[in-house]
A and B are shown apart, each in its own frame.
Chain A
Amino acid sequence: MSTSASHTQETAILQAEDLPRLLEALHARRYQVIGPTLSDNAVVLEEIRSVSELPVGWTDEQEGGVYRLKRREDEAYFGYGVGPRSWKQFLNPPNLRLWRARRENGNLQFMLDSQEAPKMAFLGVRPCELEAIAVQDRVFLGKGYIDPVYAERRASLLIIVVQCAQASGTCFCASMGTGPRAESGYDLALTEVIDRRTHHFLVETGSERGADLLQEIPHAPATDAQIAQAWEISRQTARQQSRTMHVEGLKELLYRSYEHPHWEEVGARCLTCGNCTMVCPTCFCMTVEDSVDLGGRNAERRRRWDSCFMMDFSYITGGSVRYSPSARYRQWLTHKLATWHDQFGVSGCVGCGRCITWCPVAIDLTEEVRAFQGKVRGSKEKTHENA
């Protein structure tokens, strides 16, 4: 959406001390700038007004069920992984009024809420998150119904990617083909280079809009050595990743595994808290809530994020379709990695690792997938070919 076919990619060097100029240029163009900042002992995404609000000199430690902030030995601006929040909160707000209704003189009037969306610039979108936005584009703007809430926000969105310079303990984008380097789909992409001698960003432009923005801030041409250095950082990041997921044949495998006994096993560990769905950058499920004032004249409908792990999510007359934790975990994992392909033509997983970090009992989807791959390959009688 933000790329233009006619644009040829440029590279340049932006010195770290000039990063504030980028923010100024965005503010001058009346963008609301959203970026990473520290809050509640985590890196979260919020509106930022100056680069000093970025988590300068901080990093994080992530493992299954573990998230901890730590000081870095340098003053890097973007030296951490993805936090508990994702950009979806700005494109598909967690709680939003859709319409109001009024009863008057025996009639009923419905009034659509106008979707006045802020013009936003996302600063610090990681390659996996860029991919997640592309996945949600297919959900909300794909064939069929086009969601005006999302469309309005997406249309004016400017994206500045930050290429990952270090892997988190839980991420596995390299094996999902979604990172750690984004090559298109952004307006600008920054690679932060920091050592004893230099602190700069290699800037890549991905659109006319990005190229125009670059012209307004101090920059110098990038040497081949500087470009090579940035690419080496990405390669290093990929090598740091300890988790992998083998996606080849995975959709078909999961389609065959609906009645596999491993669902019971993982279901026994799952608390059905829904954390994974809240932190997931592609999970899109929502519910609607109707309310009315005490006089019974004015009502409204809101839409709110929902989770397939909630018991009432599948409620129909007679009870919930998916009442057991194992069936709800099966729904989530199978949706993410299998049915998503049939619905939207891509995987629902981008390998960001959030669902592993934020699971209170450290369920790791890469391990669960391996359990199916291992067992199903190993013992024929458990393959459930007719599933």
Chain B
Amino acid sequence: MTTPLLENAAAAWEPPVLEPQEAAPMLPRPYVVNRVRQETSDTFTVELQSADGAKPFRFKPGQFNMLYVLGVGEIPISICGDPSRPDTLVHTTRAVGVVTRAMRRLKPGDVLGVRGPFGSAWPIEEAAGNDVVIVAGGIGLAPLRTALYNMLHERQRYGKIVLLYGTRSPNDILYRREVEKWRSHFDLEVYVTVDRASDRWRGNVGVVTSLISRAPFDPLSTVAFICGPEVMMRFAVLELQKRGVDAQNVYLSMERNMKCAVGICGHCQFGPWFVCKDGPVYRYDVIEPFFGKREV
């Protein structure tokens, strides 16, 4: 397979231009915690509402916010709520670092700093008229849930919608009740798999990429959205290509260290891109020459 030389890699695909909402995007605004819900043993969801009368929070599925806990620090977290309910900001994350651990301890009424939304979005408009395959690994379901909400609101615009979701164990299934509800829809194909089963698990066992080969979609008119660990995304792309899905119809969400979220701190560089503003959602054929290379 030949790869085109990237004469102008960064210009090859222009992500939709989404200006930060605020005039001073480096300054957080206060948001009050409505609810903190434990999702699995190490993941939780915070629901936030503006504490200073900010306008409803408009965002696109796949975008992220910078969340700041006073005196602890700030991290990027994708927005995973329903875009048609812009009064409530919803973020799901895993408690693995100092900021996320502090966030898990928040109580209703506590105040956080929020700035955003930043970054590119899942191209749900462009996907209309096609089958849509969503491949999510672990916490990667969070940014894709927003895209799914959007598409379910306008279900008639899409062909088949397929959700392939994999987690480490049955206990790690995120949004479990919602996933079960989606699975009961007649017009939604939901397949869940786990890496390691428990005694009581009677579902599928294996990596999520193994679901791709038998998922019901028409490869010639399918758009795929992938979010999860880089290695999982790499194999998901391979499996999709084996089925005949064009690289131009595959989108994935990248993760890199972020400090400013406006493209000047340099931390989130991935090849010629700043993931905070050119990403996190990329069309696969654009980033292909860099994707999967070690330590890029």
Question: Could you list which residues of chain A lie within 8 angstroms of chain B, going by C-beta atoms?
Answer: 98-99, 101, 103, 106-110, 112, 139-140, 144-145, 147-148, 252, 255-256, 258-259, 284-288, 290-292, 296, 299, 301, 303, 306, 308, 313-317, 321-324, 327, 330-331, 335, 338-339, 342-343, 386-387
Number of A-B contacts (CB under 8 A): 141
Stretch at the interface among B54-62, B192-200, B288-296: B288-296
Complex Cα gap A239–B71 (Å): 56
Complex Cα gap A285–B263 (Å): 10
Q: Name the A residues within 8 Å of B83 (CB-CB).
A: none
Are B30 and A107 in contact (CB-based, < 8 A)? Answer: yes
B251 at the interface (CB under 8 A from A): no
Task: Other than A98-B26, A145-B264, A327-B295, give 18 A-B pairs with Cβ distance below 8 A.
Answer: A99-B26, A99-B27, A108-B70, A145-B25, A145-B263, A284-B266, A288-B259, A291-B71, A292-B72, A308-B269, A316-B257, A324-B295, A335-B269, A339-B9, A339-B10, A342-B6, A342-B9, A343-B272
Q: Given known contacts A108-B113, A316-B255, A322-B295, is B70 in contact with A101 (CB within 8 Å)?
A: yes
B8 at the interface (CB under 8 A from A): yes
Are A110 and B113 in contact (CB-based, < 8 A)? Answer: yes
What are some 25 contacts across the A-B interface (CB < 8 A)? A99-B28, A101-B28, A106-B109, A107-B111, A108-B70, A110-B28, A110-B29, A145-B277, A148-B24, A285-B266, A285-B267, A286-B264, A286-B265, A290-B72, A292-B70, A292-B71, A299-B70, A316-B256, A321-B295, A323-B295, A327-B294, A331-B269, A342-B8, A342-B10, A342-B11
> Which of A103, A144, A308, A323 lies in contact with B70, CB distance below 8 A?
A103
Complex Cα gap A139–B29 (Å): 26
Q: Is the interface of A mostly helix, strand, loop or mixed?
A: mixed
Q: Given known contacts A107-B111, A258-B290, A286-B264, is B71 in contact with A321 (CB within 8 Å)?
A: no
The 8 A CB mask of B4-20 against A (1 = contact, 0 = none) is 01111111000000001
Q: Name the A residues within 8 Å of B262 (CB-CB).
A: 144-145
Q: Given known contacts A139-B264, A144-B263, A342-B8, is B51 in contact with A108 (CB within 8 Å)?
A: yes
Q: Given known contacts A101-B113, A110-B28, A342-B8, is B265 in contact with A287 (CB within 8 Å)?
A: yes
Complex Cα gap A148–B25 (Å): 11
Q: Name the B residues within 8 Å of A144 (CB-CB).
A: 262-263, 277
Closest 10 CB pairs of A and B: A292-B71, A285-B266, A327-B295, A342-B272, A145-B262, A342-B10, A339-B272, A108-B111, A108-B30, A322-B295
B271 at the interface (CB under 8 A from A): yes
B18 → A minimal CB distance (Å) = 11
The 8 A CB mask of B174-213 against A (1 = contact, 0 = none) is 0000000000000000000000000000000000000000
B41 at the interface (CB under 8 A from A): no
B interface bracket (residues with beta carbon within 8 Å of A)? 35 or more
Q: Name the A residues within 8 Å of B6 (CB-CB).
A: 255, 342
> Which of A108, A140, A290 lies in contact with B264, CB distance below 8 A?
A140
Complex Cα gap A160–B289 (Å): 44
B238 at the interface (CB under 8 A from A): no
Most buried by A among B9, B262, B271, B295: B295
B135 at the interface (CB under 8 A from A): no
Q: Name the A residues within 8 Å of B3 (CB-CB).
A: 386
Q: Name the B residues within 8 Å of A110 (CB-CB).
A: 27-30, 113
Q: Name the A residues within 8 Å of B255 (CB-CB).
A: 316-317
Q: Name the A residues within 8 Å of B257 (CB-CB).
A: 313-316, 321
A270 → B minimal CB distance (Å) = 14
Beta-carbon nearest neighbor of B74 in chain A? A290
Q: Is the interface of B mostly helix, strand, loop or mixed?
A: loop
Q: Name the B residues within 8 Å of A148 (CB-CB).
A: 24
Q: Name the A residues within 8 Å of B73 (CB-CB).
A: 290
Q: Given known contacts A315-B257, A331-B269, is B71 in contact with A252 (CB within 8 Å)?
A: no
Q: Name the B residues within 8 Å of A106 (CB-CB).
A: 109, 111
Q: Given known contacts A292-B71, A296-B71, A321-B256, is B5 in contact with A306 (CB within 8 Å)?
A: no
Beta-carbon nearest neighbor of B7 in chain A? A252
Q: Name the A residues within 8 Å of B225 (CB-CB).
A: none
Are B27 and A299 in contact (CB-based, < 8 A)? Answer: no
B282 at the interface (CB under 8 A from A): no
Q: Name the B residues within 8 Å of A112 (CB-CB).
A: 24, 27
A267 → B minimal CB distance (Å) = 10
Q: Name the A residues within 8 Å of B72 (CB-CB).
A: 290, 292
Complex Cα gap A139–B274 (Å): 12
Q: Name the A residues within 8 Å of B1 (CB-CB).
A: 386
Are A288 and B289 in contact (CB-based, < 8 A)? Answer: no
Q: Given known contacts A98-B26, A110-B113, is B266 in contact with A259 (CB within 8 Å)?
A: no
Q: Name the A residues within 8 Å of B71 (CB-CB).
A: 290-292, 296, 299
Q: Name the A residues within 8 Å of B266 (CB-CB).
A: 284-286, 306, 308
Q: Name the A residues within 8 Å of B260 (CB-CB).
A: 286, 288, 303
Complex Cα gap A255–B262 (Å): 25
Q: Name the B residues within 8 Å of A324 (CB-CB).
A: 295
Are A339 and B70 in contact (CB-based, < 8 A)? Answer: no
A87 → B minimal CB distance (Å) = 18
Are B27 and A259 in contact (CB-based, < 8 A)? Answer: no
Are A288 and B274 in contact (CB-based, < 8 A)? Answer: no
A101 → B minimal CB distance (Å) = 6
Q: Name the A residues within 8 Å of B7 (CB-CB).
A: 252
Q: Which B51-86 residues have C-beta < 8 A from chain A? A: 51, 68, 70-74
A62 → B minimal CB distance (Å) = 27
Most buried by B among A108, A259, A301: A108
